[in-house]
Amino acid sequence: MNESRASRLDLIVTPAIGLLLAVLLFVVWNYSDMDPTTERILEPANLARQLQQQLILAFWSTLLVIIVAIPLGIMVTRGGARGLKNTMVGFLGLMQAIPAYGLIVLFFVWLGQGATTVILALAAFSLLPVLRNTIVGIEQVDPSVIESGKGMGMTPVQRLARIELPLSVPVIISGIRTATVITVGMGALAFLIGGGGLGETINAGLKLNRPTAIFVGAALVALVALAFDFAGALAQRYLHPKGL
């Protein structure tokens, strides 16, 4: 009950904050004094390119995380892989303890510069929430439900597809939501290793001391993150199994 009320609140609060931010952005964009440097930084064509890069980075890294973390989570919750599960969750927790900045640099040293390196770094960083939620989601399924499925002659694959996964969907999606917000936020650091993104605008604003540019860049990043989060909230709402 609580969870559904919370997700309904998500569907209102997230767009409300987004709208507020958009209005602020509109006001700043139209009414602040812009010197030629700021105007050059905030060149619309530049912003559009960076926004697109930001979206692409977030999209691919999230997709990569989903493709890797969910099957991995399923695998380690099968009997006989308990040891592997703990080792893996521990290792990924360690990865998350490395600052995002450091992780991107480490990946740069390993793979060189470019968007692919950024996507891989983002995916590595946001793997844990999806993996952990997949494991938790599957493990919180009432054992008596699985037992009765087994007792009626469901094969392990049928039990997974018809019982365990559908019942863990809400938890898994909330993990994916966390991951997307991380990838969008961290994507602002992509410029460090030539991955582009709105970080370029923020960085230029910082270096050249142009607060308007900093605000516009940061607000756009926040709007992208909110948009992804809202999409996640919608998915949670509409993919939630009926009857729960």
Partner 1 sequence: MNAHDLDPLHEPRALIELVNVEKTYPGAEQPAVRDLSLAVREGEILVLVGPSGCGKSTTLRLINRMIEPTSGSIIFEGADVTNTDPNKLRRQIGYVIQQIGLFPHRTIAENIGTVPRLLKWDKKKTAARVNEMLELVGMDPSIYGPRYPRELSGGQAQRVGVARALAADPDVLLMDEPFGAIDPITRDRLQNEFLRLQAELKKTIVFVTHDIDEAVKMGDRIAILREQSIIAQIDRPEVILTDPADDFVENFLGSGAILKTLTLNRVRDLDLAPVPPVLPGASRTQALAAVEESSSGVAILLDAQEHPVRWVDRRSLDNAAKPIEQAGRSVNVMLQPEDTLQDALSAMLQTSTGMSVVVDGRGRYLGCVTIESLASLLVQTQNGAA
Residue 44 vs 151, nearer CB to partner 1: 151
- DSSP-assigned letter for residue 15: H
- Residue 201 CB-half CA count within 13 A: 30
144 binds partner 1 (CB under 8 A): yes
147 binds partner 1 (CB under 8 A): yes
Among 71, 93, 211, 241, binds partner 1 (CB under 8 A): 241
Q: Are 79 and 156 in contact (CB under 8 A)?
A: no
Q: Are 183 and 57 in contact (CB under 8 A)?
A: yes
- Separation between Cα atoms, residue 11 and residue 31, nearest integer Å: 31
- Separation between Cα atoms, residue 244 and residue 3, nearest integer Å: 11
155 binds partner 1 (CB under 8 A): yes
Among 63, 102, 158, 206, binds partner 1 (CB under 8 A): 158
- Separation between Cα atoms, residue 199 and residue 226, nearest integer Å: 17
Residue 68 vs 169, nearer CB to partner 1: 169
Binding region for partner 1 (CB under 8 A) out of 33-41, 58-66, 157-165, 172-180: 157-165
* Residues of the shown chain interacting with partner 1 in the complex, contacts defined by CB under 8 A: 142, 144-155, 158, 162-163, 166-167, 241-244
